A = this chain, B = another copy of it.
Amino acid sequence: MKVGFIGLGIMGRPMALNILKGGFELTVWARRAESMAPLLEAGAKGAASAAEVAAGCDVVFSMVADAADVEQVALGAGGVAEGARAGLIYVDMSTIAPAAAESISARLKDKGVTMLDAPVSGGEVGAINGGLTIMVGGDADAFAKVEPLFARMGKAATLIGGPGAGQVAKACNQILTGVGVLAVAEAFNFARKSGVDAGKVREALLGGFAYSRILENHGQRMLDRNFKPGFKAWMHQKDMNIVMQEAHRLGLMLPSSAATAQLFNAMVGSGMGEEDSVAALKLLESLSGE
């Protein structure tokens, strides 16, 4: 099986490297030539365009910034559809709106390309150590063919449903983790302002129904005043914007998600966009006398 990878940034580079380490023949392309260098050194073949990657591969992955980028990579000039051989499976692992993923998938299908939407969670660390959670939407046969490759990049890949379903699951993930960060920040600031040690509160609560991985991991980072990303606030802002746009499209009231989207807006607006989302605690503190 010949594999292609398009988009070699913070996430894409280690993911592509893990495929290469799995013994697969890999062809890569990235808009910026210097992004390709570490992969070429590790033994990947370089291509001159997404179309050239598609022409030489059975499965092509992409990991780019947003829906406009995915659209360009998949359907633009020099894109995947242009070069695709018959039976190509195109797997986009970027986080974009479910509606955008569905639309791109439908247009690719008309050109004979099967698309899976397969966004991930687990961040840069998960990408490096092959520990990502991969949420997949699309065709079951295509999923089965790609599974050995997902297994190089993640500890779990789940087929959630048809086209767009992976993005829906990712949106749900961003709701739960985003709201989770805000709730922990609120609880810790509540404790502090009440003169109580937030670390002891966390310790006591980890044993009960309040337990979450956010309380355990992100909560500890808040206590350590470690606001280094991790997952940058502006990226979570972008993802919550997708959630809010979908909520508007579908006519859904999402009150805690809306509060969280506003929080991330305020973080970006007050210059915390490049910090980890756990810096939410600092924002709340700054509004309560610290």
| CB-based contact A204/B253 at 8 Å | no
Chain A 235-247 per-residue mask, 1 if CB under 8 angstroms from chain B, else 0: 0000000010011
| CB-based contact A156/B207 at 8 Å | yes
| CB-based contact A135/B204 at 8 Å | yes
Q: Name A243's closest neighbour in chain B (CB-CB).
A: B190
Report if A288 contacts B (CB, 8 A): yes
Interface residues of A in 113-161 (CB under 8 A from B): 121-122, 133, 135, 155-156, 158-161
A169-B191, A194-B164 known; A253 and B287 CB under 8 Å? yes
Q: Name A171's closest neighbour in chain B (CB-CB).
A: B190
Q: How far is the CA of A159 from the CA of B200 in the complex (A)?
A: 8
Q: How far is the CA of A191 from the CA of B251 in the complex (A)?
A: 13
| CB-based contact B246/A194 at 8 Å | yes
Across chains A and B, which 4 residue pairs bring their CB atoms closest together, nearest first?
A212-B212, A158-B204, A255-B259, A133-B208
Other CB < 8 Å A-B pairs besides A98-B194, A160-B200, A175-B186, 9 of them?
A: A135-B201, A155-B207, A169-B205, A172-B210, A175-B190, A177-B209, A182-B255, A194-B246, A210-B213
